[in-house]
């Protein structure tokens, strides 16, 4: 242990301890007060555009939950563990499942999807997951909860690989208790960060293009509402820059998935949510090889905020065009099974 201070009298010791604490507190306090003052004088635009966490609502237990934050995807855990029975009930009742990676989360906003499916008397659920998720994870959910959707829409941007993302692999090995742990950790971190940065800034605000949109996911339909996407969009151009070959493994995996969907009484449909470096030709080729309808409207002037995900405005445009085309698929369907 550190050297004893027994040579001091108790009174002198106490005074020394008080001085030490005062130095510590003064050092912290001066820096905190100065930066809080600077932060308070910062223009609102800087605050709001670069720290979405300040604008986002608290992570409460309402209809939406904080689905991922600081590298933890609570959505993965909650869907797999089944600890949120209300959410799983909605998943089970869905007539239409929309499966994919994070581009599905950004590409199908509730404001467009909900009124469309309500008009047709159908329930839908968006099963989009971050971390470049492949088909394996949602496929496992399909089996685990014995889902029987009438349509399964898959965003086909190289998703048919029979291996989950590293993150999903970890989730699929986890216990429901781990889901609860991650939910608690994420919400607690979020609350602490929101409280802290109302007083003190984060160094990130001094750098450009650093916004981390905060995703809130609906328990009812799985759509994600992102708070605070950055301002500088990139235009998505509609010409193929990359044409990835369709691998045999993809065809095999996609065919097996199609067979499973049909066994469950559903129809497989492909879509393609645009991004910079488009992979649409890949989706077109795979859809043709499997004889699966492709609902993939081609629109001019769509924008992405990070080259990979649609901006909120472009997502509304894309989803509106998607549901118009999807209506044709619905029209060809037979009567609703009992």
Whether 298 contacts 174, CB under 8 Å: no
Among 40, 196, 298, 333, binds other proteins (CB under 8 A): 196
What is the contact mask toward other proteins in residues 202 to 231, using x (rule: CB under 8 A)? xx---x------------------------
- Options 91-99, 125-133, 177-185, 316-324: segment touching other proteins (CB under 8 A): 177-185
- 201 near other proteins, judged by CB under 8 A: yes
Q: Would you list the DSSP string of 262-320?
A: HHTT-EEEEE----SS--HHHHHHHHHHHT--EE----TT-EESSSSSB-HHHHHHHHH
Among 15, 20, 40, 46, binds other proteins (CB under 8 A): 20
Instruction: Compute the least distance from the CB of residue 133 to other proteins, in Å.
Output: 19
Q: How many beta carbons lie within 10 A of that of residue 198, not counting itself?
A: 14
State how far the alpha carbon of 280 is from the alpha carbons of 276, 295, 307, in Å: 11, 11, 15
Q: Closer to other proteins at the Cβ: 59 or 323?
A: 59
Instruction: Compute the least distance from the CB of residue 184 to other proteins, in Å.
Output: 7
Whether 77 contacts 131, CB under 8 Å: no
Q: How many beta carbons lie within 10 A of that of residue 57, not counting itself?
A: 13
How far apart (Å, rounded) are the C-alpha atoms in residues 228 and 190?
Answer: 15
Among 15, 25, 46, 259, binds other proteins (CB under 8 A): 25
Q: Closer to other proteins at the Cβ: 26 or 118?
A: 26
- Residue 36, token pair as written in the block: 């809080």
How far apart (Å, rounded) are the C-alpha atoms in residues 160 and 53?
Answer: 34
Which residue reads 């469950």 in tokens? 264
- 291 near other proteins, judged by CB under 8 A: no
Q: How far is CA 125 from the centre of its chain?
A: 14
How far apart (Å, rounded) are the C-alpha atoms in residues 80 and 138?
Answer: 9
- Options 16-24, 88-96, 226-234, 240-248: segment touching other proteins (CB under 8 A): 16-24
Which residues within the stretch 31-90 sit at the binding site for other proteins (CB under 8 A)? 31-32, 35, 70-71
Among 29, 58, 176, 301, binds other proteins (CB under 8 A): 29
Among 12, 21, 60, 176, binds other proteins (CB under 8 A): 21
- 189 near other proteins, judged by CB under 8 A: yes
Query: 3-class SS at 216?
Result: strand
Residues that bind other proteins (CB under 8 A): 1-5, 13, 17, 19-21, 23-29, 31-32, 35, 70-71, 173, 175, 178, 181, 184-185, 188-189, 192, 196, 200-203, 207
């Amino acid at each position: 242990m550190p050297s004893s201070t027994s040579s001091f009298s108790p009174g002198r010791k106490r005074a020394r301890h008080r001085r030490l604490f005062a130095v510590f507190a003064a050092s912290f306090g001066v820096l905190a007060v100065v930066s809080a003052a600077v932060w308070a004088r910062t223009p609102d635009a800087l605050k709001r555009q670069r720290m979405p966490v300040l604008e986002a609502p608290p992570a409460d237990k309402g209809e939406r939950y904080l689905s991922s934050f600081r590298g933890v995807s609570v959505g993965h855990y909650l869907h797999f563990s089944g600890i949120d029975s209300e959410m799983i009930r909605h998943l089970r009742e869905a007539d239409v499942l929309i499966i994919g990676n994070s581009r599905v989360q950004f590409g199908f906003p509730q404001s467009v999807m909900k009124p469309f499916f309500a008009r047709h008397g159908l329930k839908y659920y968006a099963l989009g997951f971050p971390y470049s998720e492949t088909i394996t994870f949602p496929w496992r959910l399909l089996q685990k909860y014995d889902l029987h959707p009438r349509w399964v829409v898959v965003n086909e941007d190289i998703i048919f690989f029979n291996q989950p993302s590293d993150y999903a692999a970890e989730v699929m090995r986890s216990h429901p208790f781990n889901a609860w742990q991650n939910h608690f950790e994420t919400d607690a971190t979020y609350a602490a960060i929101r409280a802290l940065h109302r007083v003190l800034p984060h160094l990130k605000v001094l750098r450009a293009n650093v916004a981390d949109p905060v995703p809130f996911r609906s328990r009812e339909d799985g759509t994600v509402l992102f708070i605070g996407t950055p301002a500088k969009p990139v235009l998505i151009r509609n010409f193929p820059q990359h044409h990835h070959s369709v691998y045999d493994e993809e065809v095999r995996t996609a065919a097996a998935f199609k067979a499973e969907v049909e066994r469950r009484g559903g129809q497989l449909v492909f879509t393609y949510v645009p991004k910079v470096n488009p992979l649409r030709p890949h989706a077109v080729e795979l859809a043709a090889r499997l004889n699966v309808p492709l609902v993939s409207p081609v629109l001019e002037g769509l924008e992405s905020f990070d080259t990979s995900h649609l901006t909120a405005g472009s997502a509304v445009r894309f989803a509106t065009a998607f549901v118009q085309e999807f209506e044709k698929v619905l029209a060809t369907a037979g009567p609703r099974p009992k």
